[in-house]
Amino acid sequence: MPQPFGARLRTAMDQRGPLCVGIDPHAALLRAWGLDDDIAGLEAFTRTTVDALADRVAVLKPQSAFFERFGSRGIAVLERAVADARSAGALVLMDAKRGDIGSTMAGYAAAYVAADSPLASDAVTVSPYLGFGSLAPLLDVAREHGAGVFVLALTSNPEGREVQRATAADGTSVASVMLRHIAAENARSEGLGSVGAVVGATLGAVGVDLDVNGPLLAPGIGAQGATPADLPEVFGAAVRNVVPSVSREVLRHGPSVGALRDAAARYADECRTVIG
């Protein structure tokens, strides 16, 4: 059996610092780098980011949508980025936020976490709002291949509240239900589990138990206003399992490789100080 994602993630964060850097080649960032918003610009942006960071950060998180918008040529760039980043030692978290049922979910599993896929990643983000049970085909394949799954739980976008903060008849929030399912998935894990939750770093004290014995991806640091110093308030005792995620506040320092590395190193050091 392959080594579980949770164990590999813990080792990577111990060795490289607890930081995930997004690869978000949207049009504004390409222009800021002096690149055209076309396939050549996408390739240059992605190659520079991977070359600068894949041998030193724990996790790289490509946002699939920004590659998909270029069609098959964009997906080809994404495939190469995933392979190159993993070869350099970074764990790749595919930010795809897929969610469906039955054979369709099995298809997403084959695309993102099966070892023989051109897009095979160390982990993938998913949406559970067709019911947590709908994730079973992907969770099963991820477990078989030692991959991780990050489940949307408490996101920082204001629109998320109407679903995630909604309550059942017993007063339990939908987000709390999802967190309990995640904890159950990790119940038999030795060390850090491989099923994680996505919880926005901008939320402040969330008032729910976040100790799911799995990793907690914390987007929102940097451009969205959160800082590493905010993490203990949001995550409490579970802060030890947080994977802080930064995108624009690192990427804006490109296309200089040295500046990208310096920015990532600063955030990794800040996060290490807070998380330990």
Which residues does the annotation mark as catalytic? 97
DSSP 86-153: HHTT-EEEEEEEE---HHHHHHHHHHHTSTTSTT--SEEEE--TT-GGGGHHHHHHHHHHT-EEEEEE
Cα 141 versus chain centre, distance: 18
What phi and psi values does residue 258 have, to the nearest 5 degrees? -60, -40
Answer yes or no: are the C-beta atoms of 260 and 253 closer than 8 Å: yes
Rg of the Cα trace of the chain? 18
Dist. CA 178–CA 168, nearest whole Å? 12
User: CA of 73: how far to CAs of 40, 45, 100, 110, in Å?
Assistant: 10, 14, 25, 20
